[in-house]
Structures are given as C-alpha cells and as structure tokens.
A and B are shown apart, each in its own frame.
Chain A
Amino acid sequence: MTEPEQGGTGAVTGGEAAGGVTPADGDIPAPTATTTETPAATATEAPAATATETPAPSSNADDAARGDAAPSEAPAPSALRRLEPSEIRARRRPRAIVLVWAWELACAFFIATPVHAWARNVWGAHPDGDAAIFRPGGHALLSWLGDEGAALAIVVRSTILALAVFGILGQIVTGTLIASLATGAGKSGRAPPTSFALRAGSASFFPLLALGVVAGAIEGAVLGVGLFASSALDHALAPRFGDARAFTARLALLALFVIATLVIGVVADLARVTIARDVAAARAEAPATSASMLGYLRGGVVAAVTTARRAVGRASLAWGWRAAASIALIYAGATAGDVTGGRGGGALWLLFAFHQLVVLARAALRASWLAYALRLVGR
C-alpha cells in the first residue's frame, strides 16, 4: 500500500509540527512522529482514489517527495516553473497534503486546549476521568455545563477566538498548498521545496485574505437575503396553507439561496487558486518581481469570472462530489465517536487514529479540488 520512499521521509514535515503538540500530561493520544508516518503513507492513496477523471502521469513525480528533506539536493529555485494545467495533480503532492494535515492537527490541539484544560480540571480526578461526562443520560455533562461559573464563557470565547485566528492564518496554508500544486521543478514537474511553497503561500496571504473577506461578504449577503426572503414566504403562505407546508416552502427557497452561496464559494476558489498560483509562479520564474496585492486580486477575480462563465457547472460538480465525500467523512467520524462513547485506552487511540485519517482524507479532497480548479482556470 505504501510507496517505499514515503515511509521514511514523509514524516519529516509532519513530525516537526507534531512535536510541538505533544501534551505534557501524557494522558492524551499525542500525535508523535510515529503517528504521522501512517497518515503520510495513506496520503498517497487518498488522492489516488479521486483520480478517476484523469489517468495518472508519470511515476517519477514521486522523486520530489524527497525534495526539501535534504536541502543540499534540492533543485535551485530557478529550476522551478509554473506547471502546465495537464501536469497539475494532487496525488503528486503528498507532502503538501500531509503538511496541511499537520497544520490542522497543531491548530486543533491549540483550539481544543481551553475545553480540555477545563474538563481535566473538573473531571480529571474522577476514577474514570472524563468518561463520566460521556455517560448516557448526561447527568454529569449537564451538571458541568449548567454550573454557574465563568469557565464556560471563557472556554467558548477563547475557542471561537482561536478558531478565527487559525482560520485566518490558514490562508497561508491554502496558499502553500496551491503553490505546491501549481509549480514544479524540472521536466517532470517535481514538487517544489517546502520552503519555497511556504514562502509563496505567505506572500499570497494578503490577497487571499482580501478575497476571503470580499467573497465572505457576498456569500453572507446572499444568505441573508435568502433567510429574509424565505421567512417572508413562510409568513405569506402560512395563513393559507398552514405552518407545516409554509415551512417546507421556506426550506425549499432557502435551499436555492444556499446553493447560490455555495456556487459563489466555488467561484471564489477559482479566484483563490489563480491568485496563489500567480504569486508562486512569479516567485519561481522571476523571484525579484512582485505585483501589487490589488493586481493579484484583480487577476484572480477576472480569471475566476471568465472560467465560471465557461465552466461553472463543471466546477460546481467537481466541487460538489468532493464536498459530499467530505461531509460523509465527517459523518463517519461523528458516528465513530458516538460508537466509542466514553471508552478509553485502546478504543480511544483507535478513534484518534480514525479521526485523524478523516482529517487527512479531507485535506486530500481539498487538494484534489484545488488541483482541479487550477486545471480549469488554465494558464
């Protein structure tokens, strides 16, 4: 199942990130260098499962996996180039996918820290630890959450804040992933060094953030209009058709607006890949030059709109099936959590492994979608 060269070196980037999250108390399924090996190996498989659309390109792409593990062997940046659309494949960038996963793992540890600290403080001394709050019936859980104290507010606020901060910083990771997908070295288009991809990702941070803000505002506005319109429809229909049927109509209308919002998100992704690709390409082919943030933003939006005009259906479909697969993965993760309940020990470690596989597989799906978007946008 594993291609030989992945096992040893794939852990390097993941291992670095994971090292920082090893918990102090040792009672946590800590991500270690060992655990990253398995997902790293799987990462090469996950995108493969998505490869039905196009046959895999030549196998020597995997040489690149060793790229920045030994910087002395890395190709000179000047050898980097922007890849032709037909060369862009997520499956050729397993290390970038693992990097995304490692980033999410590290963020997840930070985001989960407030609630974990709180739970540990309250339930840690219980003979069964926090298994108490997983008991059916929810006696301990309700008593804990209903306790009149500041902890809940502090945990909720700091968790939301951490999510927001890491969500914003995540633009760099998205940019890095796109840079890694869109550029390559040598004739075979080997993966660029991670350091290059990271620098390119960082350089695309502000344009991507600006795009995110603009797209988010448009999506929010469309959704807001949808909420308002569907509510108005509900109220208009309820006296005549009854509240149950009016509510069904409300849901149907709202669904149209939700679909519109998702399509806007797809178009925004087309802009996203264009921006991050252009930033990376400029750095690869002419490191000294740098266009303005607005220039990249404009270029991205124009390319996205042009592409959408020609292929919005194809793009939405390509995004849609990956989205469905992604949601199915989340559902599987939730169900696994449900089944595990308050069990600890080996069952909890198994659950951790499965959950992280889900996170990794979703990162691979995202990479697969971004690669498709890059191909669709073209040159």
Chain B
Amino acid sequence: MTFLGAATSLAADGPLALAGPPGADDAAPDVEMAAHAPNVASYTLRAKLDPTRHTVHGEGTITWRNASSKAVSELWMHLYLNAFKNQSSVFMRAPIGGFRGGHIPSEWGSIDLKRLVLVDGETRHDLLPTIELRRPGDEDETDARVPLPREVAPGAEIALEVEWDDKLPNIVERTGYDGSFHMVGQWFPKIAKLEADGSFAHFPFHHLGEFYADYGTYDVTIDVPDDFIVGATGPVTETRREGGRLVERHVQGDIHDFAWTAWDGYRVKKETIHGVDVTVLAPAGYDDHVERELETMRFALPHYGARYGKYPYPVLTLVHPPVTASEAGGMEYPTLITTGQPSWLPRGLWFVEGVTIHEFGHQYFYGLLASNEDAWPFLDEGLNSYAENEAMAAWKGAGSGIHFAGLTIGDVEAQAERARHFGHDEKIAQGAGAFATGSAYGALVYSRTAALLETIARAYGKAKMDRALGVYARRFRFRHPTPNDLIDTIRAEIGPGAADNLRAGLFDKGWVDYTITQTSSHPSHGAAGMFDRDGKRETISPDKTARPNRYDGSVLVVRRGTLRFPVEIELVATDGSRSRVTWDGEAESFRVPYSGSAALRSAIVDPDDRILLDEHPQNNFATAPGQATAGAPRVLERGMFWAATLLGGLAP
C-alpha cells in the first residue's frame, strides 16, 4: 500500500473525515474557469543572437493598456539583465547564501536601451532622455521609471517602440550562456504589473525574488545561426533559413513572460501527450533522462489537468541544460521549463521526475495563477511544492523522493523535514527580499508551505484539499490571486479551522508539537476510605474494593504551539489490544481515560503521521512506567549485519 493510499483511505474512513467527496479524478469542481487572459501588455519583438559575442540585439513594439481605475503618467520598466551588470546591483549586493546562484559572473551581463519611443498617433515622443534608471544613492539599474509626456486614461492603450542590446552573462542564475549554450530569460524591457489601484508593482531584481507581470500576447521572432536549435515560449508559426541563419517566429497569447534558448548541441525529441505537443531539448547522451521526462509528462499533464484545470496551451518545451550550465535548470517560463540532473542519476532517485513535475506545476502556480512572486513567493513556490509532493506521491507511492538501495523516502516527508528548520525565525508570508538567508527562504517558502498544506490535507481530509485547490486554481486562472484569495477558498471549502491554521502558519510563524506527558494504569478498584452511610461510619480497605481483571488509567496529551489540528490518540494495552480516540486539538491538553482488561502499556498521539508539521515526532509517544518498552531490536540487528559486513570488507 502506498503512503498516499494510506493517507487517502484513512482520511476517508477515519473519524476525522466528514462528508467524503468522491475520489481524486472527480475532484474537478463546478467552478467557472476563464478561457483567456485579459490582454494588457503585449510584445511584438525581434531578437538576433550573436553566439560568439553572447549578445542579443532586440527591437519591436509594446502595446500596453491601462487596466487600472486611475490615469497613469509614468511607466515602470524592468531591465533585469542589469542585475548582472556590476556588484552594485540589488541582486549582487544581497548577502544571501544557501539558495541557487551564489557566484559572481566572470562575464558581466547588461541590457542597454537604444530606443524608447511613445507612438501617439502622428506624434512620436522620445522617452529615452527622461528615463530614470537609478534612484539616488543606488546604482541598481533593473527597475527604471519612464515618465510619460501625457497621462494615460483608464482603459486607454499606448504603443511603445523599443530597441535594445543584451549582453548575456555567463550563467550564474537562470539566464546567460555557457559555451555555445544560451538560455535567454529576463532579456527584454518589460513593463511592471499595474495594480487595480493605479500603482505599479515594480521592484528591482533580487537574488531570491522572481517575477510578476500582466498578461498579454507575445509575438517573438528569433534569429540564430542555422546550425542552432531554438526552444522558446509558444508554438512556432513561421520558420525560414536564409543567409546561414535560422529565423523562427513564436506566437502565444494568455501569457506574461517569454524565454528562449539556442544551442548547437541539442538533441530534439517530440511527442504529443494529452493533446499537447511536448518537445524535449537535451544534450547528447541523455536519452534515458529524455525518456524519464516524457514519462513524467505522460503522468503530469492528465493529473494536473484533472486537479487544477486543463493545460490551455498547445505546446510545452522541456529544456535539459548541459551539466556545466545546470544553473539554467529548474526554472519555469510560460510553456517552457528547464529541468536538470546529471546523466548518471539512476531511476529510483526520482530527482529528474521531481524537477520536471515541479517546473511543470509552475505552469499553474505562476503561469495561470500569476501571483506576485516578489511579494508572496509562497503562493507560487509553496503551493507548487505541495502540488509536486501530491503528484509524486500519486505517481510513485511511498518512495516518491527516493526508492533506492533499501531506502523509501517520500518527497513530502523530505519536505517536512526541511520545514522544521527556520520555522521560528521568520514568517513564510513575506517578500522574497525580506528573508535573511537563502536557506530560510528555501525551507520556509517551499518546504514549510508544502508541509503546512499537506498537514491540513491529512488532518481535515485529502479530498477536501483536492477540491479546495481545484476551486482556487480554476477560479483564479489568468488572474493574480493574493494570500487572502487562497485562505478564503480554504475557509469556504475545508472550514474555518483549516483556514485559521493556514493563516497562522503563513503569517504568524504558527507551529505545533503534540506530546504525551503521562501514561499510566493501575488495577481497578472502587473508592476506599471512611464513608458515613445510613448513620453509620464504614471503613473500606483498598483490597476490598478491587475489581479483578480490570485496569484504569489515563494518558495526558499536550499540544504545544499555536496551531490546532485535530489528532488521533492510540492506546496500547499489555495484551496487544489497541484503541483510538480523536481529539479536536483545541485545548492545550487532553486527558484520555483508560479502562480495560489489561494494563496500559503505551500510547501515541498522531499514530499515522498526519501532522507533518509536528515539531518533534520523537515525543509523540510514551510507555507506562514499569512496562517494558518495545526497544530498538531492528536497529541492532541491521547495525550488526552492516558492521560485520564493513569489518569483513566487501570481498574476501
């Protein structure tokens, strides 16, 4: 029986489960789902790659609509390649360790605007002279303010002509080159997301931060040497070869970013899966990984479709970067994801599958639910990590992380372990730039969010969580949901207890540690002592009150911390019989009475490991004083075998 199977059946059969909705495949809730995104910022661009100088020359037009309720007199434009321009950028200044990309580039990267013209009917306004690249006292050039010559009224549309030059850095984080391999992300001047209140959600490129943008249509023509292979967002609508160059046009609507890659070392494999044209680009010698990534998509496309709504795009491109450019791996862009892992990684170490399913999940939690990744990184990375854990468990069972050499480690269990660290240091729900270290960011945003959601799913019923996230993903498709949107959905679909725990876990460093502090029983007897009855005093000695073959006792369960999950408590008697009671977990402690024909041997709270967030599972049980413990004979046996084996050497 797989771990997921266990969790599901317990949630359905156990005393905690309320009305049981049907199984996972029927989870599709009856919620209206937008067919298209609003067209706010659309880009028609041409890009020409010089693979020896590692430069991209770009030009084109941006049409932008004021989708807010207020007139706007300036634009904010992200020039994120400037994060790699010098060590004074916000990106390079961040004193961050423990997350991806810690190196200083040996080749700096930059984006230089050459032309920025507002086309206003017959009039053309050159915006370049008035652009403000830097704030006073700050050399960062990733977040530019562009004053406009006139206000743009709500609902009005403007067109900008742009031309620029990119110098790609050698890859230090996500984007850049390695030899002739080029991964081109965050490469064009991009207008920041305009919020409904007329303010721009603009921010410099931070080491830990990701992105946020309005939806639109991207029509991008890419020009590379003709021995290169291109992978890019959206389907190819035009291909031609001329003058030793390959020119590919990619057009895709309902997206909010565009990335592409070009390399002369790619091997290409294509397959139509669940109605989607999937292309895998990988280095030579990676055939097995390519097959594993396709296997993953054969599982993931229908699985995510059933849970979070059908994948709406016609194509999906998986890019497996060469091992020397692994920093380009493990990243998501609309309809294009990058994977990774070295060629020798065997099956059973499911990291190829894990990274593929994680990045694909971002097509939902980032692509279709375009939250502000800079302000609320947990909304994409945390929810997506939960979705990854759920999918991997549904696919691979208990060993969904590692099933190798006798180890059976679940993806979500590994996540839960990481989630125990940093939980008291910082809150999950904060901006990417607010985290003190990359390790805290990773543990809290990814792991603790996932473990919190998994705990809610196991405590209140997985079917309810399936439904809640199904509703959330459909209702907010092609929108920009906030933490409240998520919490409100959980409240409506699972209940106030789950929502309160979620809010406390996200915003208030919520934690919980269940423990058993007392376990005891004694032979049963009535009350002894002096009793005045019918005018006479009667003294009853304890031995006269004894009830043969009965034992009474109790177990004291304590809940430490601020989260309140319902839990089960299992009582084990010396005759081996077991019984369970449920506690709503609201009070700080709970005394479970015991009465049985055998003495109480031991007790355990949360015997099925539903509270993954429990700080210290090692204190969830106790053996009654005077009772023999179950000990650790398995560890001794295994330890002795392996000690003798090591002592004897591998061979005679």
- Most chain B beta-carbon neighbours within 10 Å: one of A105, A112, A131, A238: A112
For B2, B286, B641, B646, the residue with the greatest tally of chain A CB atoms inside 10 Å of its CB is: B641
Q: Mark B622-652, 1 if CB is under 8 A from A, else 0.
A: 1100001111111111111111111110111
User: Do B609 and A108 touch (CB < 8 A)?
Assistant: no
B631 touches A25 (CB 8 A): yes
B104 to chain A, nearest CB (A): 22
The distance from the CB of A86 to the nearest CB of chain B, in whole angstroms, is 21
Residue among B342, B406, B622 with the highest chain A CB neighbour number at 10 A? B406
Residues of chain B within 8 A of A142, CB atoms compared = 409, 413-414, 416-417
Q: In chain A, what residue has the closest Cβ to B267?
A: A242
Q: Counting CB contacts under 8 A, is B74 at the interface?
A: no
Q: Return the chain A residue nearest B570 by Cβ.
A: A127
Give chain A residues whose Cβ lies under 8 Å from the Cβ of B286.
244
Stretch from B15-23, B149-157, B237-245, B598-606 contacting the other chain: B598-606
Least CB separation from A351: chain B residue: B637
CB–CB B420/A146 < 8 A: yes
Nearest to B607 among chain A residues (CB) is A127
Determine how close the nearest CB of chain B comes to the CB of A173; give it in whole angstroms.
Answer: 10
A214 to B399, CA, bound (A): 44
The reply to whether B641 and A359 contact each other, CB–CB distance below 8 Å, is yes
Is B518's CB within 8 Å of the partner chain A? Answer: no
Closest to A170 in B: B647
Q: Which residues of A contact B416 (CB under 8 A)?
A: 139, 142-143
- B408 proximal to A (CB < 8 A): yes
Residues of B within 8 A of A243 (CB): 283, 285, 322-324, 342-343
Say which one of A35-43, A67-75, A277-285, A329-337 lies at the interface with B: A329-337
Q: In the complex, how many residues of chain A place their beta carbon closer than 8 angstroms to a beta carbon of chain B?
A: 84
Q: How far is the CB of A262 from chain B (nearest CB, A)?
A: 8
B280: CB under 8 A from chain A?
no
Inter-chain CA distance A15–B245, complex, in Å, is 82
Task: Tell me if B434 is interfacial: C-beta within 8 Å of chain A.
Answer: no
Considering the complex, give the chain B residue whose CB is closest to the CB of A362.
B648
Contact in complex: B637, A125 (CB < 8 Å): no
Contact between chains at A139 and B617 (CB < 8 Å): yes
Within 8 A of B (CB), among A149-191: 159, 162-163, 166-167, 170
A29 close to B644 (CB less than 8 A): no
Whether, in the assembled complex, A206 has its beta carbon less than 8 Å from a beta carbon of chain B, the answer is no
- Inter-chain CA distance A60–B634, complex, in Å, is 42
Among residues of A, the one whose C-beta sits closest to the C-beta of B403 is A136
Chain B, residues 105-124, CB within 8 Å of chain A (1/0): the string is 00000000000000000000
Cβ contacts under 8 Å, B609 to chain A? 135, 137, 139-140
Instruction: State in angstroms the CA–CA spacing of A111 and B647 once bound together.
Output: 10
**Inter-chain contacts of A242 with B (CB < 8 A):** 265, 283-285, 322
Q: Report B374-429 residues with CB < 8 Å from chain A CB.
A: 397-399, 405-410, 412-414, 416-417, 420-421
Q: What are 10 of the A-B contact pairs (CB < 8 Å)?
A: A23-B636, A108-B647, A116-B636, A120-B635, A123-B618, A124-B631, A137-B412, A139-B612, A166-B647, A366-B648
Of all A-B residue pairs in the complex, the 4 with the closest CB atoms, nearest first, are A244-B285, A129-B630, A112-B639, A323-B651
Interface residues of A (CB under 8 A from B): 23, 25, 27-29, 104-105, 107-109, 111-112, 115-116, 119-120, 122-131, 133-144, 146-148, 159, 162-163, 166-167, 170, 238-239, 241-245, 247-248, 251, 262, 319, 322-323, 326-327, 330, 333-334, 337-338, 342, 344, 348, 351-352, 355-356, 358-359, 362-363, 365-366, 368-370
